[in-house]
Amino acid sequence: MNYQLLTFKVMGDELGNLISLEENRNIPFNIKRVYYIYGTKTDAIRGRHSHPKLNQVVVCVRGACKFLLDDGKIKKVIKLNSPEQGLFIGENIWREMSEFTPDCVLMVLANEFYNEDEYIRDYQQFKESLSNDKKNY
Ligand code: T46
């Protein structure tokens, strides 16, 4: 499946901790956009879409939540609860985020600007897009 859990280097000293994120170094793409998600209701389910042409790294800088990742064949649940880790999500992965703690803050780095036309928000369409992809090879 096109995802990876990245572990970042922490610069820690007696004052606290600092983590630096740099494009094409510890973030595996050019960074065009950063957004963050916070104040999510604890019973909310966000996401429920895929991206045919977007790479992202999600960092849970505070609190915790769960990511369900689905490539059409395999489903994987990942708990994010550390600012020292980043979840890389590549192309063609259906994602659903849930079980947000009240203090959860997700910071997301993306390799493209926001484009609503690039979202697939219907699961059946997501499955069809995967078989269309295969036909193109
Ligand atoms: C993803 C997961 C992890 C913008 O105007 N600009 C932006 O850059 C983004 C990301 C969203 N929006 C607007 C579109 C909607 O009106 O903000 C609203 C909420 O977006 P959405 O419902 O897509 O949020 P999530 O939490 O379901 O999904 C987001 C990202 O959209 C998505 O790419 O992978 O976080």
Report pLDDT digits (tens) over 27-45.
Answer: 999 999 999 999 999 999 9
CA–CA separation, 9 and 125 (whole Å): 39
Closest ligand 1 atom to the C-alpha of 54?
33
Let me know: does 27 contact 21? Beta carbons within 8 Å.
yes
Let me know: does 99 contact 39? Beta carbons within 8 Å.
no
Question: What's the maximum distance between 2 C-alpha atoms anywhere in the chain?
Answer: 56
Let me know: does 105 contact 38? Beta carbons within 8 Å.
yes
Ligand 1: distance of its center to the CA of 11 in Å? 30
Closest ligand 1 atom to the C-alpha of 106?
3
Active site residue ranges: 49
Mean pLDDT of 84-97: 98
List Cβ neighbours of 89 (8 Å cut-off, separation of 6 or more). Answer: 2, 3, 55, 56, 57, 58, 67, 69, 95
pTM of the model: 0.96
Predicted pLDDT of residue 134 = 62
Let me know: does 99 contact 47? Beta carbons within 8 Å.
no
Enumerate the domain spans of the chain.
Answer: 3-111
Question: Ligand 1 pocket test: which of 57, 59, 91, 114 has the largest number of ligand atoms within 8 Å of its C-beta?
Answer: 114
CA–CA separation, 41 and 17 (whole Å): 28
Q: Atom 20 (ligand 1): residue with closest C-alpha?
A: 47
Nearest CA to 63 out of 45, 41, 47, 48 is that of 41
CA–CA separation, 126 and 59 (whole Å): 25
Say if residue 136's pLDDT is above 60: no
CATH number for the region 3-111 comes to 2.60.120.10
Mean pLDDT for the chain overall: 96
Q: Is the CB of 108 under 6 A from ligand 1?
A: yes
Q: Atom 35 (ligand 1): residue with closest C-alpha?
A: 47
